[in-house]
Amino acid sequence: MEKNKVLIVYGTRYGATKSTVEEIARVLQEEDYDVKIVNVKEEKVRTIAEFELVIIGSGMRMERWVSKVEGFLKKYNEELKKKKVAIFVSSGGLALMEYKGELEEIERVTKKYLEDKSSKYALHPISMTMFGGVWDYNQMSKIFIKFLEAERENFIAAGFKETEPGVYDTRNWDDIRNWTRELIEKVRM
Ligand SMILES: Cc1cc2nc3c(=O)[nH]c(=O)nc-3n(C[C@H](O)[C@H](O)[C@H](O)COP(=O)(O)O)c2cc1C
């Protein structure tokens, strides 16, 4: 029997969304899905017709999606409206907001990063979420290093150790796996 197909379309600037997508794909494959992954900066999406589910993921920078991921939402908008769609973003800011208890800020960015975006394209995703991201001080401009220097203490206090010198990964891999498993249940409903 042919396997059900899932398309994951994503965009990344610092690499976190790529490895998050790989983990999502691993869980889907364990559940016997045939998964195609497209990095929009490297490859064009040719068709979405054959996929039962389309997962769309973008890294955040200055509160903006990767523009080519948004380009995909525009180009395939009519088809996406008729599909099962799930959306996630990689937000480096989330863990800090959680650590500082900034609930209103979490609400604001959830609306801006996810709800406003799906409304803009008239999509009704079966699931939307925010995962953590990576802060790589080696890849930042001097201005940002200065701006974010004070946050290092918060990363450490919040329990995020350096994964490499200057790199803090704020993702919770269990959250990523659990979200994917719940998504599979929703698709099968
Ligand atoms: C210059 C800069 C700006 C950022 N702006 C935001 C932001 O507005 N909101 C947010 O949640 N995270 C922000 N981040 C953290 C990123 O979301 C994090 O690095 C994440 O891993 C990005 O996804 P990517 O690695 O797939 O590109 C920013 C990071 C940098 C270096």
pLDDT tens for each residue of 75-102: 999 999 999 999 999 999 999 899 999 9
* Any atom of ligand 1 within 6 Å of the Cβ of 132: no
Q: Is the minimum distance from the CB of 15 to ligand 1 under 6 angstroms?
A: yes
Q: Can you tell me the mean pLDDT for 10-31?
A: 97
Best substitution site from 58, 60, 143, 168 to test ligand 1's pocket, by max atoms within 8 Å of Cβ?
60
Instruction: Say yes or no: CB of residue 60 within 6 Å of ligand 1.
Output: yes
**Domains within the chain, CATH numbers bracketed:** 5-133+170-188 (3.40.50.360), 134-169 (no CATH)
What pLDDT is recorded for position 3?
Answer: 87
Q: How confident is the model at residue 132 (pLDDT cuts 50, 70, 90)?
A: very high
Average pLDDT over residues 106-122: 97
Cβ contacts of 29-36, under 8 Å, gap ≥ 24:
31/181, 31/184, 32/3, 32/4, 33/3, 33/4, 33/5, 33/6, 33/184, 34/2, 34/3, 34/4, 34/5, 34/6, 35/5, 35/6, 35/7, 35/8, 36/5, 36/6, 36/7, 36/8
Instruction: Please give the number of the atom of ligand 1 that sits closest to the Cα of 64.
Output: 8
